[in-house]
Chains A and B, each alone.
Chain A
Amino acid sequence: MTFRSRIGHAAVAVLLAAASFACAAQTLRIGLAEDPDVLDPTLARTFVGRLVFTATCDKLLDLDEKLGIVPQLATGYQWSPDFKALTLKLRPNVLFHDGEKMDAAAVKYSLERHKTMAGSNRRGELAPVTTIDVVDPLTVRLNLKEPFAPLLAVLADRAGMIVSPKAAQAAGDKFGAHPVCAGPFRFVERVAQDRIVFERFPQYWNRDAIHFDKVVFLPIVDSTVRLASLKSGQLDLIERLAPSDVKQVKSDSRFEVLRMVEIGYQGITINIGKGDMAQKNPLGRDPRVREAFELSLDRDAIVQVAMDGEAMPGNQWVAPTNSWYSRGDPIPKRDVNRAKALLKEAGVTNPSFTLVTPTTSDAQRLAQVVQAMAKEAGFDVKIQSTEFSTSLDMADKGQFEAYVLAWSGRSDPDGNLFSHLACKQPLNYSGTCDPQLEEAIQKQRATVEPAQRQKYFDQAAAVESKLRPILYLYHRHLLFAYTSRLVGLRPIPDGMVRIQGLRMK
C-alpha cells in the first residue's frame, strides 16, 4: 500500500466515523422520571404522558415562554361578540402520519371523540363546548353554553390534540397502542417501562424546524441513575433533575441546566368542610387557627430546606411571576408571636392535628420542616406518611385533617382553581364551598376580557387568603439537565419539551 493510498484510506475512515457520529447525533434521547400512561390524548392522564405527546401530537394551539397562546394546527382564532363561539382557522396542507388530511372534519371528529368517548379524561375540559360546526374545510367553530375563558388554554393542551379519524376509528379504544397524529414524529414502538420510539415524519408541516431523525423516551425512575445515564452519554436530556444535583451538574461544562417555575403548586390542603373530620379538626373549626398555622411557617426557609432552594415561595394558585397573580395579596411573613396571640384569642392551646403526606422525599421533608416550624407557635403536628393512592383515597373521603398535596398545574389559572376550590368539584378535597369565592371563580371562567377577569381573580384571592382551605407554599422549579451540545431548548413553563428548533451543535 502506497503512502498516498494509506492517506486516502485514513481519510475515508475519518469520514465514515464522522458520518456515523452524525447519524448517532440525530437521535434525541430523553430520560423521563416515570413510564407514561396510555398514549391516547383522549384517555391520557399523566404529566409525563403530555411530555411524550409533544413529539407526536400537535395541538390546535400552543403556548409560548410567557404562557401566551400561539398558533399550531390552527393559524388563528376569533371569539364571537358574545364569546359563545370560537372560530378556528386551520393550517392548510397538514397531513396525519397515515397520510390522511388534517382538516375541519378531523378537528370536529377529534373534539367530539374527546367529549364522548367512554373513559375520556378530556370530557370535563371540553364540557362547555356544546357543538362543533365545520364551516369550511379549513374553518371550525366551537359553540359554547356560556363564555368560557380557559378554552384557548384547554386547546393548547391534550384536548387540542387532533388525531387521525381513520386510525382512531380503526383502532377504537386501542388507539393508544399506536397513536396517529399530525406531530413532527410518528410512532414506531413502545416497550412498556423501557422505551418509546418515534421517527421523523417527513411530511410534517413544520419540517424545517425538526433536526432529529428519531426521538426515544426512556423512563428511568431513580433521579441519580437518570443523571448517571446523562453523564455516561446514554441520554441527551433528562427531566426532573433532583434539586440536590443542580450544583453538581452546573459545575460540569459538558452539561446545562434549564430551570423554570412550574405552573402548578405545592401546598397543604386543610379539611374545612368534608365529612366529620372537618369539625373534629382544630384547623378546620376555626379560621384563626388556620391563620396562626400559616403565620408559623416561613416559606423561604421551607424552600431552602425542603427543596434546596429550587422553588419559588408562593401563596396563591399561581406563582408570583405569573401574570394572573393577585398583587394585592402578597406572601405573608412569618410571625410566631402573632400566631400565638391568635391561638390564645381562639381559645386553643397546643392544637394537635395529623398532616398526611405522600411518601415522596420532598413531601416528607416539607412535612418535617412544617412540623418543626409550627411547633414554635404551639402546634403539635403529627406526620402520617402514606402511599400516594391511599392518601388520595383518604382525601377523597375526607378522612384527613391536613394533607400535603402538589398539583402539576394548568396553563390557565382556572385549571389550578376551579376543580380545587369551587363547590362540589372532584378535586375539592378541603370541602370548600364559600358563596363569595364561588361567585368569583364562576365569573372569571365566564369572562374572556383579561382586565375584568383579573378583578375576579383578585376577589377570589382575597377570599381564599382569609378562608385558607389550601395553604399554598411554593412553586417548584422544573429542572432539566442536558448535554451542552443540545441547543434550542425553550423554557416554556408547562414543562413540555418542544422538539421544534432543538438541534445538536
Chain B
Amino acid sequence: MGRFLVRRVAALVPTLFLVSILIFGLQQLLPGDPAVAMAGEDRDPASIAYLRAKFHLDDPIPVRYGWWLKGVLHGDLGDSVRIQEPVTKLIAEKLPVTLELAGLAMAIALTIGIGAGVVSAALRDTRWDYAVNLFALWGLSMPNFWLGILMILLFSVKLGWLPATGYVSPWDDLRGNLATMIMPAFVLGNAIAAVLMRHTRSAMLQVLSADYIRTARAKGLSARTVLLRHALRNALIPIITLGALEFGTLLSGAVLTEQVFSIPGFGKLIVDAVFNRDYSVVQGVVLFTATMYILLNLLADVAYFLVNPRMRT
C-alpha cells in the first residue's frame, strides 16, 4: 500500500506541471486583447496601457508563465482585475458552496443511481426494469437548465415552497441552506443518477452471470446477501471510477445549474472570468479544480485498492 501510494503521489508532480503549462497556454489562445476586454466600456488608452503593464501582457509568453508560476509556488494566484479580490479568497469563498452542491448532488445521484441500477439488474426484463430504464432515459435527455427553470416555476413561483435562487450559508441557517440547495442538487444529481444507473445495471448483470454468484446461490445464501454482498461489491469498481470522475466534474463547477439557481460556485466564477478575460481568476480556479480532479482520481485508485483484493497482490 505504502509503495503504491508513493508511486502515485510522485506521478502527481509532473502531471500538475504539465497541467499548469496547458492551462496557461490554452488561455493565451483566447481571442481578443485581455487589456481591452478588462478596460470596460470606455476603453481609455491610459487604462489599457496600465493593465498591460500590470499583467505583463507585453512580455513573451514564457516570461509571463514564469511570473505566474512564481506566484503559484508562493501560494499567490493573483488578484481578480474585475473585482480586485485575491483569487485565493474567491476560491475559499466558492469552494464550500461548490463542495456542498457537489456533495448533495452526488448523494442524490448515488442513492437513486445505484439503487435503481441494482433493482433494474435484479428484476431484469420486468416492468420495474423498463420503468427504471425510462427514468434513466429521462434523466439523460432532460437539459439541466430546462429542468431547473421548470422546478423554479413549480416549487418557487407556483407553490412558493422553495426560494428560487440564492445561497444561504449552512452556518447561518441550515434550513434555509437546504431549501436553496435542494433544487440545484436534484437537477445535477438527476442527470448523474441516470448515468450511474446505466453503469450499475450493466456491471451488475455481468457480475450476476459469473460462476461465483452461482456458487453462492448454490450454497443457499439469501438472494439479498448474494445481490448486495457478493454481486454489488464487485460491480462497484467501475461505479467508483465513474463517481469520482463525475464528482471531479462537479467540482469544476456546474455552470448552467449554478447560473440558473444563482449559486455562487466555481462554475459561475469561471464563466464570468472567461467572458471578462479575468485571466488570474481563470488560471487560478482551473489550476485548483484540475488539482482536485487529479487528487480525486488518486483517491479512486486507493479505493480500488481497498475494494479489490486482487490489486493488493
Which residue in B47, B54, B269 is a CB contact (below 8 Å) of A192?
B269
- What distance in Å separates the Cβ of B282 from its nearest Cβ neighbour in chain A? 12
B157 within 8 Å of A (CB atoms): yes
Give, as a whole number of angstroms, the nearest-CB distance from B130 to chain A: 35
| B165 touching A389, Cβ below 8 Å | no
Inter-chain contacts of A135 with B (CB < 8 A) = none
Is the CB–CB distance between A123 and B46 below 8 Å? yes
Residues facing A in B245-270 (CB within 8 A) are: 259-262, 264, 268-269
The CB with the most chain A CB atoms within 10 A, among B32, B80, B268, is that of: B32
Instruction: Tell me which of B41, B45, B47, B269 contacts A119 (CB under 8 A).
Output: B47
8-52 of chain B: CB within 8 A of chain A: 31-33, 36-37, 39-47, 50-51
CB of A121 within 8 A of CB of B84, answer no
A26 to chain B, nearest CB (A): 19
What's the nearest-Cβ distance from chain B to residue A121, in Å? 5
A174 at the interface (CB under 8 A from B): yes
Q: Which of B148-156, B195-203, B235-243, B290-298 contacts its partner?
A: B148-156
Q: Are B82 and A37 interface neighbours, CB within 8 A?
A: yes
Docked pose: A47 CA to B42 CA in angstroms: 11
Inside 8 A of A234's CB, which chain B residues have their CB? Answer: 156, 163-166
CA distance A228 to B183 in the complex (A): 14
Q: Does A458 contact B (CB under 8 A)?
A: no
Interface-lining segment among A162-170, A214-222, A371-379: A214-222
A7-15, A288-296, A390-398 - the one binding chain B: A390-398
Please name all residues of chain B whose beta carbon is closer than 8 Å to the beta carbon of A40 when the two chains form the complex: 84
Contact of B40 among A35, A37, A173, A221 (CB under 8 A): A37
How many Å from the CB of A351 to the closest CB on chain B? 27
Q: Which residues of A contact B275 (CB under 8 A)?
A: 387-389
Contacts of B165 in A (CB 8 A): 218, 220, 225, 228-229, 234
- Residue A240 at the B interface, CB < 8 A? no
In the complex, the answer to whether A224 meets B32 with C-beta atoms within 8 Å is no
Please state if A389 and B44 are interface contacts (CB–CB under 8 Å).
no
Q: Is B272 an interface residue (CB 8 A)?
A: yes
Instruction: Please tell me if the beta carbons of A222 and B84 are within 8 angstroms of each other in the complex.
Output: no
**Contact between B83 and A45, CB atoms less than 8 A apart:** no
Per-residue CB proximity of A355-396 to B under 8 Å, as 1/0? 000000000000000000000000000000001111011001
Please determine whether B272 and A35 come into contact, CB atoms closer than 8 angstroms: yes
Contact flag A121-B39 (CB < 8 Å), given A192-B83, A194-B262, A232-B160: yes
Out of A38, A225, A388, which one reaches B149, CB within 8 Å?
A225
In Å, the complex CA distance between A125 and B42 comes to: 10
Task: Pick the contact of A46: B40, B50, B152 (CB < 8 A).
Answer: B40
- Asked whether any CB of chain B lies closer than 8 Å to the CB of A465, the reply is no
Total A-B residue pairs with C-beta atoms closer than 8 Å?
146
Contacts of B160 in A (CB 8 A): 232-233
Whether A224 touches B264, Cβ cut-off 8 Å, given contacts A123-B44, A193-B272, A389-B275, is: no
Asked whether B59 is an interface residue with its Cβ less than 8 Å from the other chain, the reply is no
Partner of A228, one of B36, B47, B50, B153: B153
Q: Tell me how far the C-beta of B99 lies from the nearest C-beta in chain A, rounded to whole angstroms.
A: 16
Across the interface, B43 reaches (CB within 8 A) one of A37, A177, A408, A426, namely A426
Decide: A218 near B85, CB < 8 A? Known: A191-B264, A194-B262.
no
Residues of A within 8 A of B85 (CB): 177, 192
In the assembled complex, the CB of A292 is this many whole angstroms from the nearest CB of chain B, namely: 31
Residues of the A chain whose Cβ atoms lie less than 8 Å from the Cβ of B37:
389, 392-393
Which of A174, A194, A234 has the largest number of chain B CB atoms within 10 A? Answer: A194
A46 B41 Cβ-Cβ under 8 A: yes
- A500 cross-chain contacts in B, Cβ below 8 A: none
CB distance from A158 to the nearest CB of B (A): 10
| B 127-161 binary contact with A (CB < 8 Å = 1; else 0) | 00000000000000000000001001100110010
A408 to B45, CA, bound (A): 19
Task: For residue B278, give the distance in angstroms from its CB to the closest CB of chain A.
Answer: 10
| Residue A118 at the chain B interface, CB threshold 8 Å | yes
B84/A219 in contact, CB under 8 A:
no
Contacts of B153 in A (CB 8 A): 228
Nearest CB of A to B238, in Å: 36
Inter-chain contact A225/B277, CB cutoff 8 Å: no
Contact (Cβ within 8 A) A38 B45: no
Contact of B93 with A by CB under 8 A: yes
- Give complex CA distance A173, B86 in Å: 13
Does A419 sit at the interface, judged by CB under 8 A? yes
Query: Is there contact, CB below 8 Å, between A408 and B41?
Result: yes
Asked whether any CB of chain B lies closer than 8 Å to the CB of A203, the reply is: no
A199-240, CB < 8 A from B:
218-222, 224-225, 228-229, 231-234
**Quick check: is A43 within 8 A (CB to CB) of the other chain?**
yes
- The reply on A427 being an interface residue by CB < 8 A is yes
Q: A191-B93, A192-B93, A221-B259 are in contact. Are A228 and B40 (CB under 8 A)?
A: no
Query: Does A287 sit at the interface, judged by CB under 8 A?
Result: no
Q: Are B32 and A37 in contact (CB under 8 A)?
A: no
A232 near B47 with CB under 8 A, answer: no
A142-196 contacts to B (CB < 8 Å): 173-174, 176-177, 190-195
CA distance A193 to B264 in the complex (A): 6
CB contact under 8 A between A393 and B36, given known A192-B90, A193-B269: yes
Residue A442 interfacial (CB < 8 Å): no
Contact, CB under 8 Å: A176 / B45? no
Cβ of B156: which chain A residues have Cβ within 8 Å of it?
A: 228-229, 231-232, 234
Q: A408 CA to B42 CA in the complex, in Å? A: 10
Report how far A40 CA is from B47 CA in the complex, Å: 15
Is B288 part of the contact surface with A, judged by Cβ < 8 Å? no
In residues 42-94 of chain B, which contact A (Cβ within 8 Å)? 42-47, 50-51, 54, 80, 82-85, 90, 93-94
Contacts of A35 on B, CB cut-off 8 Å? 83, 272
Q: Any chain A CB within 8 A of the CB of B167?
A: yes
A447 CB–B CB distance under 8 Å: no
Residue A120 CB within 8 A of the other chain: yes
Cα distance A388–B274 when bound, in Å?
Answer: 11
Query: For the complex, is A124 an interface residue (Cβ under 8 Å from B)?
Result: yes
Residues 37-64 of A, flagged 1 when their CB comes within 8 A of B and 0 if not, give 1101001111100000000000000000
**B262 A219 Cβ-Cβ under 8 A:** yes
Q: Are A45 and B164 in contact (CB under 8 A)?
A: no
Q: A190-B83, A408-B41 are in contact. List 11 more A-B contacts (CB 8 A).
A: A45-B40, A124-B44, A192-B93, A195-B166, A225-B152, A225-B165, A232-B164, A234-B164, A389-B32, A396-B36, A419-B42
Which B positions have Cβ atoms within 8 angstroms of A? 31-33, 36-37, 39-47, 50-51, 54, 80, 82-85, 90, 93-94, 149, 152-153, 156-157, 160, 163-167, 259-262, 264, 268-269, 272, 275-277
Q: Could you list some 12 contacts between A and B, CB below 8 A? A: A37-B276, A47-B41, A119-B54, A124-B46, A191-B264, A219-B262, A225-B152, A229-B163, A231-B157, A234-B163, A234-B166, A396-B36
